[in-house]
Amino acid sequence: MNKLIVAMALCAVLFIPAAALAQSPGDDSSKPLKPGGVRVTPRMPDADKWDGRKSANGLQRVFKCKPLACADEEIVTISFSKSPTRHPDPEALEKLAKTDLPKSIHAADAAREVLADGDAKLETLSSKTATLKGHPAVTNETKLTQGKVFVYLDTAIIFAGPIMIRLQSVSKNRALAQKSLNEFVEAMKIEEGPPGSPSLPTPTGKTEEL
């Protein structure tokens, strides 16, 4: 696999907040959701096209398009962490999209250059707020250039109640990176339990299907 693709995939891992590493596994999909709970079930849009693996703690999924199944090499990463708030402020989301998220992507430059064996240039093509699966979100498209090689990183961060979901799609094919991200977002299932009591902590639930 092209080193730039591997480097960008590593960056996706580096962007996972530390809080995700301490989060407990989610509830089983057969169990009813408790008040205030949210269950996220990531799914492959086409099982014949993708190979999937999960991290030991169950909080990250990495999907790689099988040989000849996509127009080019393609990796999609889905990670979960605790959301800083159930109801993101619109102005704060705007700042995340326009300033903080691009900065976090550019901050991984050192790790990227180690794997890319040379200078690489990053360019933010778009970064904006959105609504995905009925929840507030931000999206970002970044282009990495090294010599005559281009790699595209498409990111979506969804704030689903107590859970923050981060999806990242990496490919040298821009249209494929965008299409794959959209397909994984569309295939994902997000379920919410009944409203929780404001005086009690609200549990989270998460299941995965591969």
Output the CA–CA distances (angstroms, integers) from residue 123 to 13, 113, 140, in the order listed: 20, 15, 11
Nearest by Cα to 37 from 26, 48, 47: 26
The secondary structure of the chain in percent helix, strand, coil, rounded to multiples of 5, reads: 25, 35, 40
pLDDT in tens, 102-129: 988 877 655 555 455 557 788 999 999 9
pLDDT given for residue 207 in this prediction: 47
How many Cα atoms sit within 13 Å of 72 on the Cβ side? 17
Phi and psi at residue 57, in whole multiples of 5°? -90, 0
Strands 74-82 and 121-132: unpaired
**Beta-carbon contacts of residue 76 (< 8 Å; ≥ 6 apart):** 50, 62, 63, 167, 168, 169, 170, 180, 181, 184
pLDDT in tens, 132-153: 999 999 999 999 888 888 899 9
| pLDDT band with cut points at 50, 70 and 90 for residue 29 | low
pLDDT given for residue 147 in this prediction: 82
| pLDDT band with cut points at 50, 70 and 90 for residue 34 | confident
**Beta-carbon contacts of residue 89 (< 8 Å; ≥ 6 apart):** none
Average pLDDT over residues 88-96: 96
- Does pLDDT of 1 surpass 50? no
- Does pLDDT of 32 surpass 50? yes
Pick the CATH number of 3-25+45-186 from 3.90.79, 3.40.50, 3.40.1000, 1.10.3470: 3.40.1000
Residue recorded with tokens 């999909």: 29
Q: Which residue has the higher pLDDT, 91 or 204?
A: 91
Look up the pTM and report it: 0.80
**Beta-carbon contacts of residue 194 (< 8 Å; ≥ 6 apart):** 33, 35, 36
Q: Range with the lowest mean pLDDT among 14-23, 42-51, 83-92?
A: 14-23
pLDDT given for residue 195 in this prediction: 78
Output the CA–CA distances (angstroms, integers) from residue 140 to 10, 12, 122, 153, in the order listed: 17, 13, 13, 8
Average pLDDT over residues 68-86: 94
Strands 135-146 and 60-65: unpaired
- Does pLDDT of 169 surpass 80? yes
Average pLDDT over residues 49-59: 89
Q: Which residue has the higher pLDDT, 58 or 95?
A: 95
pLDDT given for residue 19 in this prediction: 40
Here the tokens at position 149 are: 């090689």
Domain ranges for the chain: 3-25+45-186
Phi and psi at residue 179, in whole multiples of 5°? -65, -45
